[in-house]
């Protein structure tokens, strides 16, 4: 049987399994393992001979994940996750929200702006969009509702702010992209800084214009905030600044690798929490439990993804796509338009990690055939996945917010609050696609 046909059938089977809500790790692993077995057992022009397929199939399934697990770069994943959970348990991630709220409370939509800034600060040390939305949703939404903010603005601003966890470094998605695409994780982190700040600024602008047009959506809090309160809250943010500057500044300056930065960041979060007496044994154990759970989930998906990548290479599907692109003579504009549409559609239904592992074997050859930068492409992919987190019908961050607010806010109200932010996302995406230097300038001066 033609290996290319096996690859296409397996790809369709994977999408079907995902559509019926089979876990992404199982969908990737099952379809890839069966596909590998068929490729070895049913050679083109020969009969189906399963007795010759067991050994090479088991060898590929065993060796691929093993080579992946022993990767030194992979150590960044659990360490960055641990740093984020330790920081959350120590309360570092909420300090920046409290400071922003006190400094911006008198501005139109100031509490919503503070929520977005709080999400940015949370994202800077956790790297997880879902965790960011969940944590800030519990803190910020009740406070905005208490001040009389409209439900759509309160929930929408936190849902969109949570997506910054995918873009602002350190990001788990960039780590996985770097490992599978064999790109520098440090350069990926640095490349995401300007796009992350650009997205943050766009969200703040949307809130400002929203409240300017509808002042009743965000009444100004009736509370007295003194200058002393503001400066005191700002002083409490030094810990998160130290962590971010240590990790990202150290990588940018070349003082240590991303893996070393992750270890130093986790140790620094633990040390600061103990010194400031914000961490006790119970909080440390809680951080460790959450880190183990999240790491195990990511590794399960990544291991299945590694088998899937090997299977796609075995079938020659990537090469066939390259040949099709060359034959079709598509311009780079149309090729990128197809890729953007692919990620937007998949982002409506699937988990971002699963999308990356599912699509990279297919999209990277296309990007390379046009001699485009994979560093720039990584930023585009993560930004598209970020949009998918809040896009109906299955915006993961929206459902996370819904699980927090329960019956207080309807699901369609949250999606309605996302609408204006999605318009801003289109402008930001257009800038990133049209001006690659926004992503590549910082990495270029880093070398």
**HEC profile of 303-324:** HHHHHHHHHHHHHCHHHHHHHH
Confidence of residue 433 (pLDDT cuts 50, 70, 90): very high
Confidence of residue 136 (pLDDT cuts 50, 70, 90): confident
Which H or E run includes 6?
helix 3-19
CA separation for the pair 321, 361 (Å, rounded): 10
Residue whose structure tokens are 């309360």? 91
Task: Look at residues 112, 111, 121, 104 and name the one whose alpha carbon lies nearest to residue 164.
Answer: 121
Which H or E run includes 286?
helix 281-315
Task: Look at residues 219, 230, 240, 228 and name the one whose alpha carbon lies nearest to residue 118.
Answer: 240
CA separation for the pair 133, 113 (Å, rounded): 15
Count CB-CB contacts under 10 A for residue 242.
16
Residue whose structure tokens are 């090469």? 319
pLDDT at residue 322, as a whole number: 66
Task: Please give the average per-residue pLDDT across 80-102, as a whole number.
Answer: 81
CA separation for the pair 125, 169 (Å, rounded): 8
- 381 CB-side CA count, 13 A: 29
pLDDT at residue 205, as a whole number: 93
Among 20-34, 178-192, 205-219, the least confident range: 20-34
Among 27-31, 184-188, 299-303, 376-380, the least confident range: 299-303
Task: Please give the average per-residue pLDDT across 132-157, as a whole number.
Answer: 84
Which pTM value belongs to this model? 0.82
Confidence of residue 373 (pLDDT cuts 50, 70, 90): very high
pLDDT at residue 326, as a whole number: 66
Structural contact between residues 1 and 38, judged by C-beta atoms closer than 8 angstroms = yes
Confidence of residue 128 (pLDDT cuts 50, 70, 90): low
Task: Look at residues 415, 330, 388, 324 and name the one whose alpha carbon lies nearest to residue 362.
Answer: 324
Q: Under DSSP, is residue 91 helix (H, G, I), strand (E, B) or coil?
A: coil
Count CB-CB contacts under 10 A for residue 416.
16
Residue 334 has pLDDT above 80, yes or no: yes
Which residue did the predictor score with more confidence, 240 or 185?
185
Task: Please give the average per-residue pLDDT across 25-42, as a whole number.
Answer: 86
pLDDT at residue 271, as a whole number: 92
Which residue did the predictor score with more confidence, 81 or 318?
81
Confidence of residue 127 (pLDDT cuts 50, 70, 90): low
3-state helix, strand, coil in the chain (%, to 5): 80, 0, 20
Among 53-62, 123-132, 156-165, the least confident range: 123-132
Confidence of residue 62 (pLDDT cuts 50, 70, 90): confident
CA separation for the pair 345, 338 (Å, rounded): 11
Task: Please give the average per-residue pLDDT across 202-221, as a whole number.
Answer: 88
Task: Look at residues 306, 299, 248 and name the one whose alpha carbon lies nearest to residue 78.
Answer: 299
Among 74-83, 282-291, 311-320, the least confident range: 311-320
Tokens of 152: 């759509």
- 441 CB-side CA count, 13 A: 8
Summary mean pLDDT of the chain: 83
Contacts of 273 (CB under 8 A, 6+ apart): 86, 87, 89, 90, 92, 279, 283, 284
Residue 63 has pLDDT above 90, yes or no: no
Q: What are phi and psi of 257, to 5 degrees?
A: -75, 165
Among 68-72, 257-261, 405-409, the least confident range: 68-72
Confidence of residue 314 (pLDDT cuts 50, 70, 90): confident
Residue 374 has pLDDT above 90, yes or no: yes
Q: CA 103, 108, 112, 118 torsion: positive or negative?
A: negative
Residue 124 has pLDDT above 70, yes or no: no
Task: Please give the average per-residue pLDDT across 180-197, as a whole number.
Answer: 89
Task: Look at residues 445, 358, 356 and name the one whose alpha carbon lies nearest to residue 175.
Answer: 356
Residue 1 has pLDDT above 70, yes or no: no
Residue 289 has pLDDT above 80, yes or no: yes
Task: Please give the average per-residue pLDDT across 402-406, as a whole number.
Answer: 81
């Amino acid at each position: 049987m033609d290996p290319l046909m096996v690859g296409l059938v397996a790809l369709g089977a994977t999408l079907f399994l995902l559509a019926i809500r089979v876990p992404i790790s199982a969908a990737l692993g099952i379809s890839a393992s069966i596909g590998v077995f068929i490729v070895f057992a049913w050679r083109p022009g020969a009969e189906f001979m399963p007795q010759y397929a067991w050994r090479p199939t088991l060898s590929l399934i065993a060796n691929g994940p093993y080579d992946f697990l022993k990767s030194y770069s992979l150590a960044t994943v659990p360490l960055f996750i641990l740093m984020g959970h330790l920081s959350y348990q120590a309360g570092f991630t909420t300090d920046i929200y409290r400071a922003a709220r006190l400094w911006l409370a008198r501005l139109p939509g100031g509490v919503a702006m503070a929520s977005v800034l709080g999400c940015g600060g949370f994202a800077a040390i956790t790297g997880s969009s879902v965790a960011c939305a969940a944590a800030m949703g519990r803190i910020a939404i009740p406070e905005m509702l208490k001040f009389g903010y409209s439900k759509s603005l309160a929930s929408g601003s936190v849902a969109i702010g949570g997506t910054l966890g995918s873009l602002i470094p350190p990001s788990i998605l960039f780590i996985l992209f770097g490992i599978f695409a064999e790109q520098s994780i440090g350069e990926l982190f640095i490349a995401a800084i300007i796009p992350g700040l650009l997205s943050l600024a766009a969200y703040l602008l949307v809130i400002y214009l929203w409240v300017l047009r509808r002042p009743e959506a965000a009444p100004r809090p009736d509370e007295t905030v003194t200058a002393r309160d503001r400066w005191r809250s700002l002083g409490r943010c030094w810990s998160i600044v130290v962590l971010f500057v240590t990790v990202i500044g150290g990588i940018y300056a070349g003082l240590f690798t991303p893996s070393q930065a992750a270890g130093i960041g986790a140790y620094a979060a633990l040390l600061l929490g103990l010194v400031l007496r914000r961490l006790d044994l119970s909080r440390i154990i809680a951080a460790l439990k959450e880190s183990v759970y999240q790491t195990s989930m990511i590794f399960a998906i990544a291991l299945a993804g590694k088998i899937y990548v090997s299977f796609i290479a075995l079938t020659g599907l990537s090469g066939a796509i390259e040949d099709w692109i060359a034959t079709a003579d598509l311009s780079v504009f149309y090729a990128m338009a197809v890729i953007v549409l692919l990620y937007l559609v998949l982002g409506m239904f699937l988990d971002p990690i699963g999308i990356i592992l599912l699509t990279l074997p297919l999209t990277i050859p296309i990007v390379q055939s046009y001699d485009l930068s994979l560093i720039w492409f990584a930023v585009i992919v993560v930004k598209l996945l970020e949009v998918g987190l809040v896009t109906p019908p299955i915006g993961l961050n929206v459902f996370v917010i819904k699980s927090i607010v329960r019956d207080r806010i309807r699901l369609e109200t949250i999606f309605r609050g996302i609408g204006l932010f999605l318009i801003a996302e289109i402008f930001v995406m257009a800038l990133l696609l049209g001006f690659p230097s926004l992503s590549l300038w910082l990495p270029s001066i880093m070398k």
